[in-house]
Amino acid sequence: MSTDTPSIPEPLRILVAPDSFKGTATATQAAEYLAEGALSEDPGAEITLAPMADGGEGTADTFPGQRITLPTTDAAGRLTEATYVFDREAKTAYIDVAAASGLPAVADKPVPLTGDTYGTGVLIADAETRGAKRLVLCLGGSATVDGGTGILVALGAEPLNAAGFSLPKGGAALIDLDNIDTAQLNIRAAALEYILLTDVISPATGELGAAWVYGPQKGANPEEVKLLDAALTRLCEVTGVNPETPGTGAAGALPVGLLWLSTLLHGSSEHIHLLPGAPLIARIRGLEELIPASDLVITGEGALDEQSFQGKVVGTLAKLAENTPATLAVAAGKINTELPRGIIGAELIETQDVAEQLREAGARLVRDYRRMSTVQG
């Protein structure tokens, strides 16, 4: 008679690390709903939550600190309120460009030619007055193509034409840029340590640049795209910023203005850092260690397409999961691209209840993982 006791199967180890589902669920909410769905399918699973972001809308909320809300302006110059995160102990402010200068606020009437980032500059200046020494600017989701010149104006740097007159606001006016007057510059705010988190790798100009790729999403027609690209080219000529640098096309080429400003004040670019957002957030979240220790990694975003694998959360997690035991699973409102081999996908069901959508997707991804694991032995 055998005395061997049956082995108890190890619990399924699930890491839940989605991006936000813009307009419907924050990354934290999405993680909670997906985890609830996973647990409904496998109550014994060990769940770890790690809400993610890629430098786009919602990135600031993934950092700890006080939420600061103040009056500012949107991309169209209308009065609004915006919130950023301030970690007083670390003397670091986290600001989403989308908070003040984002697309949703001007969706009724896009402003690709005249929209500017002045409202974001107001938040930057406010953060400095509260004691910030470092500023993490999250660049995704902007409604502007102004090369960051709205921020420069908010900090006291004035773009001028050849006659010495101030340029109208917005990216199109930069076609007439001659120089930038810094006589009234807010030096304390301008001299902060800047970390610019990008969710794209686009250059500032050209066919893959800010105007050509993202201008149409911000309401620009083909002629306006040509004008904006020429205007950004002129900005790069005046500032001396290399327009081919990957990431300078983020947020309507916003990094161009700040790269020029920081280099002007410090004599080098040592105090400004242009970084892909998703890998940095993943490192902060400890995903480099958590993913290899997981059986299933569930992520998600609003719409999955080819760009999702180029600097976004899904692509970052897919790369980290390579050559590990973990299987990557993606929940998305729509899946508009063929998934790489070994990645499980689930489109959200048709309902107005986002919590129900994500719970159902979480449960379905666990079922699909179990089925795939059984087939593979």
| 217 and 315 share one domain | no
Task: Report, as an integer, the average pLDDT of 256-262.
Answer: 98
pLDDT at 9: 67
In a domain, 293, yes or no: yes
Q: What is the largest CA-CA distance in the chain?
A: 100
Question: Are 246 and 300 in a shared domain?
Answer: no
Query: Please, what sign has the CA dihedral across residues 71, 98, 334, 312?
Result: negative
For residue 286, pLDDT over 80 is answered with: yes
**What percentage of residues in the chain have a pLDDT greater than 90?**
85
pLDDT band (50, 70, 90) for residue 307: confident
pLDDT in tens, 103-116: 999 999 999 999 99
Looking at the structure, tell me whether residues 86 and 198 fall in a common domain. yes
Query: Which of 366, 298, 317, 326 minimizes the C-alpha distance to 15?
Result: 298
Instruction: Give me the phi and psi of 164, to 5 degrees please.
Output: 90, 10
- Domain co-membership, 20 together with 97: no
Same domain, 139 and 267: yes
Domain boundary among 225, 255, 278: 278
Query: How many domains in the chain?
Result: 2
Domain extent at residue 371: 13-50+286-376
What value does the mean pLDDT of the chain take?
94
For residue 177, the SS3 value is: coil
Burial class (CB in 10 A: 0-12, 13-18, 19+), 222: exposed
Please check whether residues 165 and 182 belong to one and the same domain: yes
Q: Is residue 351 part of a domain?
A: yes
Residues 259, 228, single domain; the answer is yes
How confident is the model over 13-55, as pLDDT tens digits? Answer: 999 999 988 778 989 999 999 999 999 999 999 999 999 998 8
Of 233, 249, 278, which residue constitutes the final position of a domain? 278
Q: Are residues 195 and 291 in the same domain?
A: no
Flag whether 1 is in a domain. Answer: no
Write out 238-290 in H/E/C secondary structure.
Answer: HHCCCCCCCCCCHHHHCHHHHHHHHHHHHCCCCCEEEEEHHHHHHHHHCHHHH
**Domain shared by 243 and 357, yes or no:** no
242 and 117 together in one domain: yes
pLDDT over threshold 70, residue 256 = yes
CB atoms within 10 A of CB 168: 14
Q: Supply the pLDDT for residue 57.
A: 83
Token look-up 């003040």 returns 100
**Which pLDDT does position 372 carry in this prediction?**
87
DSSP letter string, 324-377: SSPEEEEEEEEE-SPPPTT-EEEEPPS-S-HHHHHHHHHHHHHHHHHHHHHHH-
Residue 149's pLDDT is what?
A: 98
Are the C-beta atoms of residues 231 and 205 closer than 8 Å to each other?
no
Q: What is the CATH number of the domain that holds 163?
A: 3.90.1510.10
Helix axes 313-321, 277-285, angle to 10 degrees: 60
Asked if residues 92 and 136 have their Cβ atoms less than 8 Å apart, the reply is yes
Whether the per-residue pLDDT at 375 is higher than 90: the answer is no
CATH number at residue 315: 3.40.50.10350
Q: Is residue 4 part of a domain?
A: no
Q: Is the pLDDT of residue 206 over 60?
A: yes
Q: How confident is the model at residue 228 (pLDDT cuts 50, 70, 90)?
A: very high
Residue 82 lies in a domain: yes
From 223, 258, 278, the end of a domain falls on 278
Q: Which of 93-107, 126-140, 300-314, 357-371 has the lowest mean pLDDT?
A: 300-314
Instruction: Please indicate, yes or no, if residue 3 is contained in any of the structural domains.
Output: no
Q: Is residue 5 part of a domain?
A: no
- Closest of 281, 279, 274 to residue 247, by C-alpha: 274
Candidate from 12-16, 32-36, 160-164, 334-338 with smallest mean pLDDT: 334-338
pLDDT at 85 over 90: yes
Structure tokens, 120: 């974001």
Helices (H), 130-272: 149-154, 187-190, 222-239, 250-253, 255-266
Indicate whether 55 belongs to any domain: no
The pLDDT of residue 41 is 96
Q: How far is Cα 305 from Cα 309, in angstroms, rounded to an integer?
A: 8
Same domain, residue pair 167 and 237: yes
Same domain, 273 and 297: no
